[in-house]
Structure 1
Amino acid sequence: MEFSEDDAAAVYDVTNPWRAEPGTSDAFYTGHAMAAGSVLDVGCGTGQMLHLLRRQGHHGRLAGIDPDRAALRRARRRTDVEWVEGPAADIPWRGEFELATMANNAFQCLVTDGDIAASLTAVRAALAAGGRFVFETRNPQARAWEAWAAAEPVPFEYDGRSLATWWEVESAEDGVVTFTETVGELDRTTPLRADRATLRFLDVDPLNAALRRAGFAVEHQYGDFSGGPLTETSQSIVTVARAG
């Protein structure tokens, strides 16, 4: 079985469906987006959130940007949303959106200080004055990568086959974690696809400093998607920032 980039994008939708259930990250982002007249989803992937907004009756402007061509092919099944292929730093819009989102820890794909600065500057430029940027990143104090390394394969069904996803952590140093995500047979004997990725785990103080430099003021910061306080043991740093 050939496991293509299109298969990988389809599997993402199977294993990570957008479910706006109370208390979840999906509900948090959906609530903010439904209340905004125009929404830019940065790192939109396969477009699940924007698709849901349309199904739930959002009549305003919706746009998504992502560098993953295969994911965007799935996103473009809806033609009533604007789709752009590219990284966050290449956002083409200026002062046009009330809300920008960056869900599913996509912020962590910005690995270098330069990546973070350029991307935040581009998000700020896309927002109208007073617009909000809502996103989350994993709290480095919680050391999520240790759980990835110890996790059992996660099973799922795709194209009539029983498959699984598992992770191997290659390195974790100075807030930068490199790992491999593999899709294959349940017993791990037949890998079908392995993708290597690097993520940045940025702590609260440098994160907020980067936001300030890009022209944002932090309005709220939570430790979960129910509005709980941010503590050292919180899994996430959930941020609502306003464009100055």
Structure 2
Amino acid sequence: MFTDADAAALYDVLNPWDPTRHRSDAFYDDLVMAADAVLDVGCGTGAMLHHARERGHRGRLVGLDPDLAALDRARRRTDIEWVTGVAADASWDQEFDLATMASNAFQCLVGDAELRESLAAIRRALRDGGRFAFETRNPSARAWESWNPANATEVVDGTGRTLRVSHHVESVADGVVTFTETTFDQDGTALWVDRTSLRFLDVAELGGFLSEAGFEIEAQYGDWDPEPVADTSRSIVTIARRRRG
């Protein structure tokens, strides 16, 4: 048996939130701790907001995600607001100083309409001058070329099971990469298959959508150091600010 809850727990094993070890986590951690009210869009299992509370954040923290199993894990902390849903359906009105989409969650906004509606809702949720921080994979780095069974990851989950997680790209078309992630047991039996599509936007495309939605780019980096975005950069790390008015 491998359930939605197992998949959510395995995600935390594969992606532990640790700002002392991961520069990406430290980047978001610093922003969250400096903001009074934070909306984490695509919060998943809530690790980022959990860590903020553990560090002593006393303001408002809200996590939004459509994955019920992930939110069940997030709700282990009851001093944070957890909301089921997607960005495009959010109805907050100028309630947050900071919105985030960590761990490349922004790439799950695949279609133009979904992207525009999501950015409009995030902007609406922010106060004038509020910031939106997120990262996407740089399309010129072609990260998907390494998503194949030869690069499978072996991991021991929280119950002591040894599992293998591998990826297989099905298609790459019009900036959208569709792939499957399969979890196998020790005998090679497939326990879980998840199919995902991610959109890859370059700097110019990203800037166009942000400007149209009423954001201005405050800073943009190609790494977590930070470094300027280059063709060889793996990421496009963006801090955008809601234009006033």
Which stretch of structure 1 is more off in the superposition, 131-140 or 23-32? Answer: 23-32
Query: RMSD of aligned C-alpha atoms?
Result: 1.1
Task: Deviation per CA, 1:37-84: give whole Å up to 9, x if none.
Answer: 111000000000000000000000000100101100111111111111
Q: Which residue of 2 aligns with 1:53?
A: 52
Q: Which of 120-129 and 18-27 deviates more?
A: 18-27
Preserved CA contact (<8 Å) 2:149 2:166: no
Q: Distance in 2 between matches of 1:21 and 1:110?
A: 29
Give the alignment of 1:161-240 within 5 angstroms.
161-186=161-186, 189-240=188-239
- Shifted more, 144-153 versus 191-200: the winner is 144-153
User: 2-side partners of 1:68 and 1:41: how far apart?
Assistant: 14
* Alpha-carbon distance in structure 2 between the residues aligned to 1:176 and 1:151: 22
Distance 1:23 1:106 in 2: 17
| 2:91 alignment partner in structure 1 | 92
Per-residue CA distance 1:94-144 (angstroms, 9 max, x = gap): 100000000000000000111110000000000000000000000000000
Runs of 4+ in 1 over 4 A off after TM superposition: none
3-state SS of paired residue (1:202): coil
Q: Does the 8 Å contact 1:40/1:64 carry over to 2?
A: yes
Deviation (angstroms), 1:21: 2.3
Q: Is the 8 A contact 1:170 1:179 kept in 2?
A: yes
For 1:58 and 1:27, locate their aligned partners in 2 and report how far apart those are by CA, in whole Å.
15
TM-fit CA distance, 1:168: 0.5
- Name 2:75's counterpart in structure 1: 76
Looking at structure 2, the residues matched to 163 and 22 of structure 1 have their Cα atoms a distance apart, in angstroms, of 24
Q: What SS does the corresponding residue of 1:77 show, helix, strand or coil?
A: coil
In 1, Cα distance between the equivalents of 2:4 and 2:46?
16
* TM-fit CA distance, 1:152: 2.1
Q: Is the 8 A contact 1:23 1:225 kept in 2?
A: no
CA separation in 1, counterparts of 2:80 and 2:90? Answer: 15
- Match status 1:118 vs 2:117: yes
The Cα offsets for residues 173-210 of structure 1, whole Å up to 9 and x where unpaired, read as: 111000000111246x2111010110000111111110
Output the TM-score relative to the length of structure 2: 0.96
TM-score, length-scaled by structure 1: 0.97
- What is the rounded CA distance, in whole Å, between the counterparts of 2:150 and 2:31 in structure 1? 32
CA contact (8 A) 2:169 2:177 kept: yes
* Secondary structure in structure 2 of the residue aligned to 1:107: helix
**Match of 1:243?**
242
Letter in 1 for 2:184: G
* Alignment map for 1:3-42 (pairs within 5 Å): 3-21=2-20, 24-42=23-41
The percent of aligned pairs where both chains have the same amino acid is 59
Q: Does 1:143 align with 2:142?
A: yes
CA distance in 2, matches of 1:5, 1:163: 15
Query: 1:31 aligns to what SS in structure 2?
Result: helix
How far apart are 1:149 and its partner, in Å?
2.2
How far 1:23 moved relative to its partner? 5.8
How many residues get paired?
242
Where 1:39 maps in the other structure, the secondary structure is: strand
